[in-house]
Amino acid sequence: MASVDKVGRRAPIVHSVRVDKVSRGAQILRFIRAAVVVVITSIMLIPVFWIVLTVFKSHPDAIAVPPKVVFKPRLVDSFVFLFTDRFLLPPPKLAQYPDECKESWTECVRNKCSKPRSGKELAWYECVALEGGQLVTGPGKYGEYVINSLIIAGCSTAAAVVLGLLSGYAYSRFDMPVKDFQLFFILSQRFLPAVVITIPIFLMYKDLHLQDTHLGMIILYTVVNLSLSVWLLRSFIDEIPREYEEAAMVDGYTRLQAIRKIVLPNALTGIAATTVFCLIFAWNEYAFALMLTSDVARTAPAFIPTMIGRGVVEWTSIAAGSLVFLIPVVIVTFALRKYLLRGVTFGAIRQ
């Protein structure tokens, strides 16, 4: 068969009907199996579903006991609360606003309500806050922190993938002394959990003035991700026959040109998979971020839990924060899904 297989490329055999699989009983069994899968998947998705529900609840609905599944949706409130800093207006101050401005925020916008003292017209988000009896004092920190997250996760992922690609190529193609030990050493970067090494790193970063800086976090995440990306990309490059580059080199190209023209296009699957893995790690990382950043370089995951500790627990804006936080990873994963389906299996089903 081997020789035939290599030559005759035909569509893969997708499914096959076995005599013992066509009976009525077998069909029912198959249906039951499918149903079980659907049920389990739904159970797994309940937390996400609950977050989405909470985002659109009003604050009282969110903390109601027993929890409400049917409620009047509030579309923007939680997002406004998430992105602004506010304080609760004391009743005398609140009384200075006309009633039609406090009724509902849409009314407030339509009536062009303004602040009682300065006469400045209220923006729509200020109307939303007013409806909750609050006054907006300025933009919240969350937006800034999401941007921090984007910068840190993006840069460290890019760095990890580029470095991983180069060293993965080298490990795949060249003979070098104690290669296996080197690879093992690289992997060992991942042996210790973050909580164990944060303190030493904290001390080190303090001396180097890298604490609470973007650069510090990018370097840290890159190092942690590098072991994964070197290993992953090496195994992907291992699967690209070296004859490809050798053919190019015999044809008159240098090694670097051969890598750019031949290896890169063929390693796209691996690059995509590695990118997503690195991005997910850097994006979700919590322990380091909590210890090593305070404000300038603070990332969203380290911030969200701190929202709990500020006066009233605003569950709806925490939910909104979580939801916003999910979006970038979902977008990237979705954009790369066609590579991932093959990539995540570590090349096992690649031909």
Residue whose pair of structure tokens reads 């709990």 in the numeric block = 308
Min separation Cβ 349 and another protein, Å: 16
Which residue reads 């030990």 in tokens? 181
Name the binder of 35 from another protein, ligand ATP, none, CB < 5-8 A by kind.
Answer: none
- Quote the least distance from Cβ 43 to ligand ATP, whole Å: 34
User: Which one among 4, 70, 176, 312 touches ligand ATP, defined by CB under 6 A?
Assistant: 4
- In 192-234, DSSP assigns E strands to none
List binders of another protein among 12-41 (CB under 8 A): 16-22
Contacts 24+ apart (CB under 8 A), 151-154: 151/214, 151/218, 152/214, 152/217, 152/218, 152/221, 152/282, 152/297, 152/299, 153/221, 153/279, 153/282, 153/283, 153/299, 154/279
Give the residue, chosen from 64, 250, 335, 341, that forms a contact with another protein under the rule CB under 8 A. Answer: 250
Nearer to ligand ATP, 13 or 65 (CB): 13
Identified binder of another protein from the candidate list 27, 96, 106, 254, rule CB under 8 A: 254
Enter the tokens of residue 85.
């800093």
**Which of positions 13-32 make contact with ligand ATP (CB under 6 A)?**
13-16
**Distance, CA of 228 to chain centre:** 17
Q: Which one, 252 or 309, has the nearer CB to another protein?
A: 252
Is the CB of residue 219 less than 8 Å from the CB of residue 237?
A: no
Find residue 339's DSSP bridge partners. none
Q: Interacting stretch for another protein, rule CB under 8 A, among 144-152, 231-239, 257-265, 320-328?
A: 257-265
Helix axes 194-208, 214-238, angle to 10 degrees: 130
| Nearest CB to ligand ATP, comparing residues 237 and 302 | 237
In the complex, which residues of this chain contact ligand ATP (CB under 6 A)? 4, 8, 10-11, 13-16
In the complex, which residues of this chain contact another protein (CB under 8 A)? 1-4, 6-10, 16-22, 241, 243-244, 246-254, 257, 261-262, 265-266
